[in-house]
Structure 1
Amino acid sequence: MPAIAATLAWLAMLSLFAGATVTAEFPSIELETTSSDTLDGVLRAALNAPELDRAAEGGDAKGWQPFVEAERHRLEELIRGQGYLHARVEMPDAADDAGSSDKVTLKPVTGPIFRVGMVEVDGLQDVATDTVRDDVSRQMMEAVGKPARGDLLATLEDEVLWRLRTASYPFVRVTERELLPIPGRALATARIVVEPGASARFGAVAYSGLVGLRQDELGRLQPFKQGDPYNPDVLERFREALLGHPSVKAVRLRLPEAVDADGQLQLRAEIEEDQLRAEDVAGNYRTGLVAAVSAIAALAIRQVSVASLRPGRSRWPLWFEVVPVLLLAAAFYVIAQRMLLLAFPG
């Protein structure tokens, strides 16, 4: 069988308790191919380095064996994580080499690739509602028939955590996860054990970092009321609403470590306000002043133009009467706002 020539870089550092340092000569690693090109690519990428450090002649040649053995076990776990749950990596007996080989060949024996035959989620009994359990079960069943890979198990874990958090369990955690081969079949059971923790409801929100903003002003942005069931989606909408405020630069929402005696989460919103620079205020002030002068000029022109009306007509069209008034009101509003910001920055 052709072999994938790949070498590992080992740090040749062996320190003796007596204080003397002995450097060993490490052989190169040769990895045989498997029946899967994809798996071969994963294994090639997993090897530690392109070159093997060689020690000075006459070193203790047996020093490399524990390192190669550790690499063999690491590759075994890697292959099993790709769905080959019975995989092993064979290596010649070190005694046969007598420590004199320039290379060591590792032979992966993959066996069949396993697929998910069943998904078990333990820890939901007597805690989550039937609706939540049914929701989790439907999502887990989508994994049946897929290769029993480590990344699939991680995805299932994320799905369980997210669905329980949206069901008002913010402190849920996974305590165990594993892929268990089903005897006699190339199928596996994906098992996940969770601790849901306490169910929670939204409590009050305490704000910090406020300078010019008022707490009641930000409170109107809350998409929930005190006592509503906790939901991370709602909390994210709250964060986005705070960031959408023109005076808010940054927001950090902090959850407590546990619910209070009433089963509520007392949240903390840390606000960083966007301080308005004096040059920005001055620029907007000038803009408002120009708008005001323009509106006054429009009113003056309108009054002067009344004298030029055609006989039998005493006023201009309604739109010409209304537009200057609205423009003037908007201009004075902008000026007043900017003057307040100059007087009370932040």
Structure 2
Amino acid sequence: MSTNNRILFLFFAGLLLGGTSIAPAAAFDFFGLFGSDDAPPPPSPSALPYSLDFVVAGEDKDLRQVLKDASTLQSLQGDPPPDAPALVSRAEADLPRLIDALWGAGFYNARVTINVAGAPLQIQAQRSNAAIQAADVYRARALVPIEVQVDPGHLFALRDVAVVDAGTNRPFPPSELPPRVVKIEPGDPARSADILAAEARIVDHFRTQSRPFAKVQDREPVVFHPAQAMDIGLKVDPGPRAGIGPITVQGLENVDPAVVRSFIYTEPGDPYSPAALASMRKSILQIEALSSVRIREAETLDAYGNLPLFVDITERQPRVIGASVQYSTTDGPAVRAYWAHRNLFGGAERLRFEGNLFYLTEDGGEPDRDEDPSWEDLGGRFRASFLKPALGGTRNDLLVDGLVERDRTEGYTSRLVNGTAVIRHRFSETFSIQGGIEIERGQTSDILGQIDYRLVGVPVSLSYDSTDNPLNPTEGMRLIASVTPYPEFLGSSVPITVARGTASAYFSLDEEARYVLAGRIGLGSIVGADLEDIPANRRFFAGGGGSVRGFGYRTLSPTFLGEPIGGRSLLEASVEARIKITDTIGIVPFVDAGTAFASSYPDFDEDIRVSAGLGLRYYTGIGPIRLDIATPLTREQGDRSFAIYVGIGQAF
């Protein structure tokens, strides 16, 4: 079996056999992709199992599924009753449930009969002793046959839809309640689910208009059986407009409340809206010392017409330790371990130590099996970071990082020590800027020679993130841009200025976000020195996971004597279509493109390298598990035919 095939086999085996034990199974369900049925147990003297069949006039499959979802005969089929009276009682209890389900689907003239071993049961009829006797005959012999016969009749339609103000009993003008919010109109199917959805939209609409107490005060449906129609009247109380009132933080035991308040950007008196509350919760959860945030609304307005809020918080365990092992067909094997304290001094300070150990390959792939392993072939990265949020209760955070690294790519080897200290200012939950100082000493070697260097710079960056989920965004955009001058007068041996920016956007094509388009573009530029004077690890390279998938890690750049030497500018782009097949399974076709250029700005003297691939996503509570297979479309000599990437979260 080839290495690539082994990786695929182990990946799927790990997902499918993720538990510590394996139990016998009657059927195999691949992540729920093909659905599953609770088969009844075999006949026995101690119980009365049954077979179940739904026969719907017109063979409406969707309606048949609605009935099955409402049926206790269906949901409890794997737990048979002990005797015939209990079985008949279960079937009789299903009759009103099925009628309610049919009415909810808009079939108000529906008729339902349940045949238990050939004996019919009907709603509002006395218990059928014949059904009990007929069912008892099957004990310990065979499954009791139960058939649900449904004649739904005609689908009723809405005839009149009236949405009025409960206070004035007058219809809302379109400017106050647009028809696109109500959506239901005369001629639509008279489904209760559609009516309830319209009510929810109406309430949500008024709540977004700063009316926290909006509600549907009364619902008046009138069904006309001969006309097969329904009139529906909704009396809506929009409630008063309100602002956000005092915000009370509760539940903190070890974290300074001032830190939490610095992450609340809403001020008392700001207009109330559900979106403001959602943003508040998302912002507070950026504090790593907290595990959950719940925002409760007061039941009445205060004397100023504002709505008081209560923020209930649960703290996390302060210490965390973790480790991981990963493998890529282009980047080789690697292990990672980390330890962190998320509330070091009681102010949500985070101290984190992280170590990485990886195999240093000459070509970005797996080790050469013909050579004995050597310590010289091991690379490593050790990072220590400290975060002090909310300095003095403000929206300013202190971030200090230290890094020691030994690395090798196809183009160069490097050793370095780096230290950075910055102050970040948060304008809102989506936008921040930061600036500070960076010092790095290192040595790089490549085909152009060896460079011993010292860099002292002033990094400045900004970040904007309006996405709805960090690991699986379906809407919004991200923007990260930075510029760092390393001037000679500060002590830099190579006076350069490095600028880089990445932007990504996400657009959902449907309300359930089952179809999402995602795009990313990255740019970089170095000015101030010739290419051969810039340390190799500071030059731009493309290729590998997170860049142009399908190509080797940091292999796309200008070359010298066939070796990649990096460039002074960078262009990368990716487009993905994220398609959910089920609630847990998705596929992602994608195209990546990019390369680095010798000039300080992309001049397209280098060929743009392009790859395409297909990804598999398994959606979990913490984020999607990602498997991507990519192949170069503009392949050159030495390029691999394909590459495999495994991780958690979307590619970008």
- Residue identity opposite 2:401 in structure 1: N
How many angstroms apart in 1 are the aligned matches of 2:271 and 2:171? 14
Equivalent residue for 2:351, pick from 256, 277, 300: 277
**Matched letter for residue 284 of structure 1:** D
C-alpha deviations, 1:287-308, integer Å up to 9, x for none?
Answer: 438955759x9699xxxxxxxx
5 Å-filtered alignment, 1:312-327, equals 320-321=488-489, 324=492
**What residue is the counterpart of 1:202 in the other structure?**
244
Question: Of Structure 1 and Structure 2, which has the larger fraction of its residues in helix?
Answer: 1
Counterpart position of 1:82: 105
Residues 141-150 or 89-98, more deviating: 89-98
- The 3 A distance-change label for structure 1 pair 321 and 246 is farther
Task: Provide the rounded CA distance (Å) in 2 between the counterparts of 1:206 and 1:80.
Answer: 45
Partner of residue 419 from structure 2, selected from 265, 288, 296: 288
Determine if contact 2:263/2:283 at 8 Å carries over to the other structure: no
* Equivalent in the alignment of 1:211: 256
| 1:89 maps to amino acid | V
Whether the 8 Å CA contact 1:27–1:52 is kept in 2: the answer is: no
Q: Does the aligned pair in 1 maintain the 2:102–2:152 contact within 8 Å?
A: yes
CA drift of 1:110 comes to 1.5
**What TM-score, normalized to structure 1?**
0.61
Task: Give 1:103-252 correspondences, 5 Å limit.
Answer: 106-126=148-168, 134-177=176-219, 179-182=221-224, 184-207=226-249, 209=252, 211=256, 213=258, 217-218=262-263, 221-222=265-266, 225-243=267-285, 251-252=293-294
- Whole-Å separation in 1 of the counterparts to 2:269 and 2:217: 29
Is 1:97 aligned to residue 130 of structure 2? yes
Q: In structure 1, give the amino acid aligned to 2:303.
A: A
Kept in 2, the 8 Å contact 1:83–1:148? The answer is: yes
Q: Report the CA distance between 1:159 and its aligned residue.
A: 0.3
Q: Shift of residue 34 of structure 1? A: 1.3
Deviation readout 1:53-87 (Å, 9 max, x if unpaired)? 4757xxxx666554432212211111222221221
Question: Following TM superposition, by how much is the alpha carbon of 1:143 offset from its aligned partner in structure 2, in angstroms?
Answer: 4.5
CA distance in 2, matches of 1:201, 1:217: 20
Name the residue aligned to 1:40: 64
Secondary structure at the counterpart of residue 101 of structure 1 = helix
Between 1 and 2, higher relative CO (CA 8 Å, sep ≥ 6) is seen in 1
Superposed CA deviations along residues 166-210 of structure 1, whole A, max 9, x for unmatched, are 122213334554643245433323444444444322123344545
**How far is 1:264 from its partner?**
0.9
Paired letter, 1:82: A
Change (3 A) 1:322 1:278: closer
Which aligned pairs between 1:20-39 and structure 2 lie closer than 5 A? 31-38=54-61, 39=63
Kept in 2: contact 1:136–1:163 (CA 8 A): no
> Counterparts of 1:95 and 1:249 in 2: how far apart (Å)?
56
Separation in 2, partners of 1:29, 1:240: 47
Q: Does the 8 Å CA contact 1:27/1:101 hold for their aligned counterparts?
A: no
Q: TM-score, normalised by structure 2?
A: 0.36
Shift of 1:162: 0.3
Q: How far is the alpha carbon of 1:136 from its aligned partner? A: 4.9
Q: 1:320 to 1:129 in 2, by over 3 A?
A: farther
In structure 2, do the counterparts of structure 1 residues 65 and 214 end up closer, same or farther at CA, with 3 Å as the change threshold?
A: closer
Structure 1 residues 8 and 154, CA gap change in structure 2 (3 angstroms): farther
CA contact (8 A) 1:8 1:29 kept: no
Tell me, what secondary structure is at the counterpart of 1:288? strand
For residues 33 and 54 of structure 1, the distance between their equivalents in structure 2, rounded to whole angstroms, comes to: 25
CA distance in 2, matches of 1:299, 1:29: 75
Aligned residues: 284
RMSD in angstroms over aligned alpha carbons? 4.8
Unaligned runs of 5+ in 1: 1-6, 10-22, 301-317, 328-346
How far does the alpha carbon of each residue in 1:25-73 deviate from its partner, in whole angstroms, 9 at most, with x for none?
Answer: 79876654311332234334533444784757xxxx6665544322122
Identity of aligned residues (%): 22
Relative to structure 1, the CA distance from residue 74 to residue 241 in structure 2 (aligned partners, 3 Å threshold; closer, same or farther) is closer
Distance 1:234 1:50 in 2: 46
Contact between 1:116 and 1:144, CA under 8 Å: does it hold in 2?
yes
Counterpart Cα distance in 1 of 2:223 and 2:237: 24
Alpha-carbon distance change, 232 to 323 in structure 1, aligned in 2, over 3 angstroms = farther
Structure 1 counterpart SS, 2:203: helix
Identify which range, 155-164 or 97-106, moves more after superposition.
97-106
Residue 310 of structure 2 aligns with which residue? 268
Distance 1:131 1:249, change over 3 A: farther
CA positional deviation for 1:138: 4.5
Q: Is the 8 A contact 1:73 1:89 kept in 2?
A: no
